[in-house]
Chains A and B, each alone.
Chain A
Amino acid sequence: MSKKILVVDDSRTALMMSREILEKRTTYQCVTASDGHEAVEKAQQEHPDLILMDVVMPRMNGFEACKVMRQQPGTREIPIVLVTTRGEESYMEAGFQSGCNDYITKPVDGAELVALLQSYLGE
């Protein structure tokens, strides 16, 4: 059974890019959400194997969503990789304090993304 990844981003372009990579160029299954609030709901419903989540989003940002998921039994153990345009150390530190496992910056390199996902999920 293929591993499921929840991709969260308010940018349709970013979601389309992730779908193109995950569904057509890997064996991973992809579900999407467009803000942190929807991500929390989808994570509880879909039980993904990993969450790839943008930081700057409306309604609930990635840091907040990460904190919420870390407090809930059903999502506490899911690996979360945050994705953002900002690569400053202080910003990344804030990400890790919110409970994320990893952090990558935009523009996302597709090959690097797949390698990172494989390091958590395997082929």
Chain B
Amino acid sequence: MSDDKRSAFGAKRCAAGPMNDARLEAARKRLTESKGQEDAIEGLREIVANLLGSEEIGLFRVDRRTSTFQVFWSFGIDLENYDLLQTMGGSGLERVMRGECHVEFAAGDRSGATAKAQAFVPISVAGQTIAILAILRLLPQKLAFDRSDMELFKLLSDEAAKPLFGSSGHSIPSEGPGIRT
């Protein structure tokens, strides 16, 4: 894939209007008020569906010892044979492991964006990526990811680990809650 169809967004903030602030506040509140891991996962699904516009989502856990990525949970898509490395490429995966979001077909890209728009968001604790949230297809009415979405990605990256995986962020059970379609 050529570079013009791939965009990487780091931690920098973009100009946010008051409505985007409302969106961020709702996402933050939903995550922090989650009652346990199952509710946090449901919250994550709700945030992606309602605020980002996707119903094909995967959450991969990162095993740094073996340098592998395992499906922890998915919604709307079967990820049994999904290969993160093949999809993102080595540089994309490295970027996410460094704590940056990797977004394909962001706003301003050419036609075909909707069908192929994907975002990979590091879920981090103290700067270390412990899981990767994959948003794999947008709803037809959402044309592409935009700059305000990057702020929501940043929030998820910084704040989703604790409700999802506990206060240390490292107490990840070996088995996820399963696949939902």
Contact = CB atoms under 8 A, between A and B. Distances in A.
A118 interface: no
The main secondary structure of chain B at its interface with chain A is: helix
Interface stretch (B2-10, B14-22, B59-67, B101-109): B14-22
A87 interface: yes
Interface stretch (A15-23, A31-39, A68-76): A15-23
B164 to A, nearest CB: 15
Interface of A: 11-14, 16-17, 19-21, 24-25, 85, 87, 105-111, 114
B139 A12 contact: no
6 contacts: A11-B50, A12-B43, A13-B26, A17-B51, A85-B139, A108-B50
B49 A85 contact: yes
A107 B26 contact: no
B50 A107 contact: yes
A48 to B, nearest CB: 20
B22 A20 contact: yes
Contact of B29 (A16, A107, A110): A16
Contacts of A20: 22-23, 25-26
Contacts of A11: 46, 49-50
Contact of B27 (A13, A85, A114): A13
Given A16-B29, A19-B26, A107-B51, 4 more contacts: A17-B26, A20-B22, A105-B141, A107-B53
Contacts, number: 67
B19 to A, nearest CB: 3
The main secondary structure of chain A at its interface with chain B is: helix
A114 to B, nearest CB: 8
B20 to A, nearest CB: 7
B17 A105 contact: no
B145 to A, nearest CB: 11
Contacts of B173: none
CB-based closest 3 A-B pairs:
A110-B19, A13-B46, A20-B22
A13 B27 CA distance: 7
* Most chain A Cβ neighbours within 10 Å, of B49, B50, B141: B50
Interface string B133-151: 0000001111000000000
B57 interface: no
A70 B33 CA distance: 36
A122 B26 CA distance: 25
B53 A13 contact: no
B72 to A, nearest CB: 20
A109 B19 contact: yes
Contacts of B139: 85, 87, 105-107
B51 A21 contact: no
B21 to A, nearest CB: 8
A14 B20 CA distance: 14
